[in-house]
Amino acid sequence: MPLTNTAIRNISPRTKAFKLSDQKGMYLLVNKTGKYFRFDYRYGGKRKTLALGVYPDISLAEARKKLEDARRLLENDVDPGQYRKKTKGLIIEQAENGFESIAREWFTKNTHTWTQGHSRTIIRRLEQNAFPWLGGCPIKSITAPDLLSVLQRIESRGALETAHRVKQICGQIFRYAIATGRAERDPSADLRGALPPTKPKRMATITDPKQVGELLRAIDSYQGNLITKCALRLAPLVFLRPGELRKSEWQEIDIDNEVWRIPGERMKMRDPHIVPLSQQSIEVLQEIEPLTGRGRYVFPSLISSQRPMSENTVLGALRRLGYAKEEMSGHGFRAMASTLLHEQGWPTDIIERQLAHAERNKIKAAYNHAQHLSERKRMMIAWADYLDLLRRSAITS
């Protein structure tokens, strides 16, 4: 007599395990640990048993549905037990070789080479733009049209630059999969020209000498917090990236030897960087040292000395001085220095090294962080003196 839900629910375990038959070879095995649906069948002349689920996680109706699926496989001369093993193995293989799984593996292996901020940006771009649509797909099955569909979705919301960035990141993931034997080609390579080119962003900066002098005088007249004012004064002298400046630590600065050594983990390109300090830079640091010198950060947060200055502090100060976002930015001090130093005839290698731009030649980059140091020191001193001249309006054009 077939089983019923009521009968199964009311069955209590006994001292020894026992079976209750249902239909078509299915039965319920009851023991001290639970109630199990089973199906006995013969294949290849051998008696076999297929597990159909555990009650009540699997209902009687669900177990009977699994039974019918198994019997259909037998009718087609397929062993349902072996079929399940192969299917389960395929699911596991697809999960291990899925795009998201490999992407996260690639991310873990490379994240130590990036800054924390860059790492967060990369994984956020993947989680928001790629994983929802490509994450579960076996990486070797993803085609150029599949990837293009994802990129066009990003483009359609007006984020063309992000679409290009995601394409670039995906290309690195596909190449990693090729190197580790889990893909055969990189479909992103087939998408050259498939997205409209991005318009290069003009860095908001000031390069006219007269206007630079006006900016420097405006900074000198800043009436806000001393920490913010000192950060504003130091920014044009050292032209670091805003994050490198605001996270500066006292242990990195050697005033006696007039040098600032920033460890690689704090730099965008993960290479240690040396900043020769002009006398003007040292004066700024000496002014703020009595206020923040006992702590970790040269420019601590205005809220907590345990954290560095907010990324919006310098930007907000520039706005309060009357400079709109299209006129000047925190990054603008770098573009200002690069433009004017080139105009003054300083060698590009020296300027680029002081800007801590990436060295394309990896062998050269391995020792290049200290290269041209004497020339760079001379340039930084001359640059600080030049800014003083602009501040005093000695140069007006």
Check whether 46 has a pLDDT greater than 80: yes
CB count within 10 Å of CB 367 equals 9
pLDDT digit string, tens, across residues 245-283:
999 999 999 999 999 999 988 887 778 899 999 999 999
Q: Quick check: is 203 in a domain?
A: no
Q: Which residues pair with 29 in a beta bridge?
A: 19, 36
- Do residues 371 and 353 lie in contact, with contact meaning Cβ atoms separated by under 8 Å? yes
Indicate whether 132 and 232 sit together in one domain.
Answer: no
pLDDT digit string, tens, across residues 187-223:
999 999 999 988 766 678 999 999 999 999 999 999 9
Indicate whether 229 and 117 sit together in one domain.
Answer: no
Q: Quick check: is 199 in a domain?
A: no
Q: Choose one of 165, 191, 217: the last residue of a domain.
A: 191
Both tokens of 334, joined, read 């770098």
Q: What is the mean pLDDT of residues 385-391?
A: 95
Helix axes 332-343, 209-220, angle to 10 degrees: 140
Check whether 396 has a pLDDT greater than 60: no
Indicate whether 183 and 240 sit together in one domain.
Answer: no
pTM of the complete model: 0.57
pLDDT digit string, tens, across residues 165-174:
999 999 999 9
Indicate whether 126 and 236 sit together in one domain.
Answer: no
Q: How many Å apart are CA 232 and CA 236, to the nearest integer?
A: 8
Q: What is the mean pLDDT of residues 230-253?
A: 95
**Domain range spanning residue 10?**
5-92
Q: What is the mean pLDDT of residues 88-95?
A: 64
Indicate whether 179 and 238 sit together in one domain.
Answer: no
265 or 89, which is more confident: 265
Q: What is the mean pLDDT of residues 17-30?
A: 92
Indicate whether 88 and 103 sit together in one domain.
Answer: no
Q: Quick check: is 329 in a domain?
A: yes
Q: What is the mean pLDDT of residues 30-52?
A: 91
pLDDT at 115: 73
Helix, strand, coil percentages for the chain (3-state, nearest 5): 55, 10, 35
- Please state the domain count of the chain: 3
Q: Quick check: is 196 in a domain?
A: no
In order, the DSSP letters of 166-215 are HHHHHHHHHHHHHHTTS-S--GGGGGTTTSPPPPPPPP-----HHHHHHH
Indicate whether 137 and 244 sit together in one domain.
Answer: no
The catalytic residue positions are: 241, 268, 331, 334, 357, 367
- The torsion of the CA quartet 123, 128, 134, 136, rounded to 10 degrees, works out to 80
Q: Quick check: is 346 in a domain?
A: yes
CATH number of the domain bearing residue 294: 1.10.443.10
- The torsion of the CA quartet 328, 213, 219, 254, rounded to 10 degrees, works out to 100
Indicate whether 120 and 213 sit together in one domain.
Answer: no
CATH number of the domain bearing residue 59: 3.30.160.390
SS3 state of residue 26:
strand
Q: Residue ranges of the alpha helices (H) in 111-188?
A: 116-129, 131-134, 144-156, 160-179
- Do residues 310 and 212 lie in contact, with contact meaning Cβ atoms separated by under 8 Å? no
Mean per-residue pLDDT over the chain, rounded: 89
Q: Choose one of 191, 217, 236: the last residue of a domain.
A: 191
Q: Choose one of 92, 123, 155: the last residue of a domain.
A: 92
Indicate whether 281 and 150 sit together in one domain.
Answer: no
Indicate whether 257 and 350 sit together in one domain.
Answer: yes
pLDDT at 152: 95
Q: Which residues contact 162 (CB under 8 A, 6 or more apart)?
A: 125, 129, 154
Q: Which residues contact 323 (CB under 8 A, 6 or more apart)?
A: 215, 218
Q: What is the mean pLDDT of residues 75-79?
A: 87
CATH number of the domain bearing residue 107: 1.10.150.130
Tell me which DSSP letter residue 361 carries.
Answer: S
Indicate whether 76 and 127 sit together in one domain.
Answer: no
> Omega into 197 within 30° of 0, i.e. cis?
no
Check whether 397 has a pLDDT greater than 60: no
Indicate whether 316 and 339 sit together in one domain.
Answer: yes
Q: Quick check: is 197 in a domain?
A: no
Parallel/antiparallel/unpaired status of strands 26-31 and 273-276: unpaired
